[in-house]
Amino acid sequence: MNILFLGDIMGRSGRDALFEHLSTLRGNLKLEFVVVNAENATSGTGLSIDHARTILELGVDCIT
């Protein structure tokens, strides 16, 4: 099983990088499960419901 764990998605730049690269990584690495640490995904101060939904819609399987 191929698992990708991404440490701290930080603010807009982290979310943008995830949006830009996750689908390519999933395909190239044949990923079956993706975990991201997103405690700072909303302006570096937590995780909003909207950002959590967006991250999950991008194909992330688990948010820590």
Q: pTM for the whole thing?
A: 0.90
How far, in Å, CA of 6 to CA of 8, rounded? Answer: 7
CA dist., res. 34 & res. 6, Å (int): 8
**Mean of pLDDT values over 11-40:** 96
Confidence of residue 57 (pLDDT cuts 50, 70, 90): very high
Which of 13, 20, 12, 23 has the alpha carbon at shortest distance from 50?
12
Alpha carbon 19 to its chain's center:
8
Q: Tell me what the pLDDT averaged over the chain comes to.
A: 96
pLDDT band at 44 (very low <50, low <70, confident <90, very high): confident
Region 34-62: what's the mean pLDDT?
96
